[in-house]
Homo-oligomer: A and B are copies of this chain.
Amino acid sequence: MKAAIFRGKGTIDVGERPDPEIQEASDAVVRVVRGCVCGSDLWYYRGINPHKVGSIGHEYIGVVESIGSEVTGLAVGDFVIAPFTFNDGTCPACRAGFPSNCMHGGAFGNGVTDGGQGEKVRAPFADATLVKVPQPPEGRFTDEQLASFTALSDVACTGYHAAVSAGVQPGDTVAVVGDGAVGLSAVLAARKLGATRVIALSRNPARQAVAVEFGATDIVEKRGADAIETVLRLTDGAGVDAALECVGTDESIETCAGITRAGGMIGAVGVPLYETFQYQTLFWKNVGIRGGVAPARRYIPELLDDVLAGRINPGLVFDFTTDLDHVAEAYAAMDERRAIKSLLSIGQP
């Protein structure tokens, strides 16, 4: 099969991989319809985080091509969304609602399985991992729906995890730090949970436009101490009920600590580049921090209902689409910040 191949820092191209096969009775093989490039893929591409040479990509949607003998909840031909991690559904972490911490699970596309930026993927624990999408009444999904399904594979759930982790309540004032696809998804999530005011920190007009489309009520074009001062002024000096941390740098976590009100929460989903931070700042303000790798498998069914009902359109984060042959361009567009997030059209639904 054809698949994107990561060759090392700065180099991604298209090559051949053996077709994945059923290895365990609980496996399924999925023929990929859409894949995409994640902000964390860029970290591999830029050489910041290590990644095995070979198949790459952890976000995909597609059609079940074959199933192992123990798979009972899926049939060949089913349309599915894969969360970016696979999980057994039975371990204590899964039972507690945190399948992304499954004791026997893992992430797609970094050596354990083929990645989502390719024509096919083996999905372990298929019943527990994959989410079946009901067939559309009209017989086919729109491109807009396919983009939104792909967003549910990771970024929409990760943004939602920030808002859920921060305990966003109806009527809250929320600030989102980070205007990447996850940050924008966090704006959408905060509104879904009932926040009446959502302050998006962004200096990029294209991202600001998506933030407003997703329900941001205020845009703050500042960073660091200036951003803190501005958000405090917007909230009569008190700070926001929840700050959603969607970057993972020292500056972004400090900004969150500075703008959250006494007793408020930080929902943190930006993969931390910082090792430590000044917890004392949070302690003395009674500010909590919660988050991590999003339990996407738990969130997908609920968000899928919203997408199918037309209540949310998380696929708007994709502002660049190409095919698998042009995967290098998909990475370059994001690396050069010409695109918020790149969608890969890989197969027919």
Question: What is the chain B residue whose CB lies nearest that of A248?
Answer: B283
Number of copies: 2
Contact B286 A98 (CB under 8 A): yes
Contact A96 B263 (CB under 8 A): yes
Known: A93-B263, A96-B262, A262-B93. A284 touches B292 (CB 8 A): yes
Contact A288 B101 (CB under 8 A): no
Taking each of A262, A268, A283, which has the highest tally of chain B beta carbons within 10 Å of its own beta carbon?
A262
Interface residue tally on A, bucketed by range:
35 or more
Contact B272 A280 (CB under 8 A): yes
Contact A92 B279 (CB under 8 A): no
Q: In the assembled complex, which residues on chain B have CB atoms less than 8 Å from the CB atom of A72?
A: none
Question: What is the chain B residue whose CB lies nearest that of A239?
Answer: B92
Question: What is the chain B residue whose CB lies nearest that of A269?
Answer: B283
Q: In the assembled complex, which residues on chain B have CB atoms less than 8 Å from the CB atom of A96?
A: 238, 241, 261-264
Contact B292 A290 (CB under 8 A): no
Q: In the assembled complex, which residues on chain B have CB atoms less than 8 Å from the CB atom of A278?
A: 275-276
Interface residues of A in 265-324 (CB under 8 A from B): 265, 268, 271-272, 274-280, 282-293, 295
Q: Is A336 an interface residue (CB 8 A)?
A: no
The answer, among B241, B262, B291, for a CB contact under 8 Å with A286, is B291
Contact B290 A288 (CB under 8 A): yes
Q: Is A97 an interface residue (CB 8 A)?
A: yes
Q: Is A148 an interface residue (CB 8 A)?
A: no
Contact B287 A93 (CB under 8 A): no
> Whole-angstrom distance from the CB of A266 to the nearest CB of chain B?
9
Contact B280 A277 (CB under 8 A): no
> Whole-angstrom distance from the CB of A72 to the nearest CB of chain B?
26
Q: Is A255 an interface residue (CB 8 A)?
A: no
Question: What is the chain B residue whose CB lies nearest that of A165?
Answer: B288
Question: What is the chain B residue whose CB lies nearest that of A92?
Answer: B238
| Bound-state Cα–Cα, A284 to B66, Å | 33
Q: In the assembled complex, which residues on chain B have CB atoms less than 8 Å from the CB atom of A292?
A: 282-287
User: Could you jot down 10 A-B contacts, CB within 8 Å?
Assistant: A96-B241, A96-B264, A101-B286, A265-B290, A277-B279, A279-B289, A283-B293, A286-B292, A288-B290, A289-B289
Which of A's residues lie within 8 Å of B, judged by CB? 92-93, 96-98, 100-101, 165, 236-238, 241, 261-265, 268, 271-272, 274-280, 282-293, 295
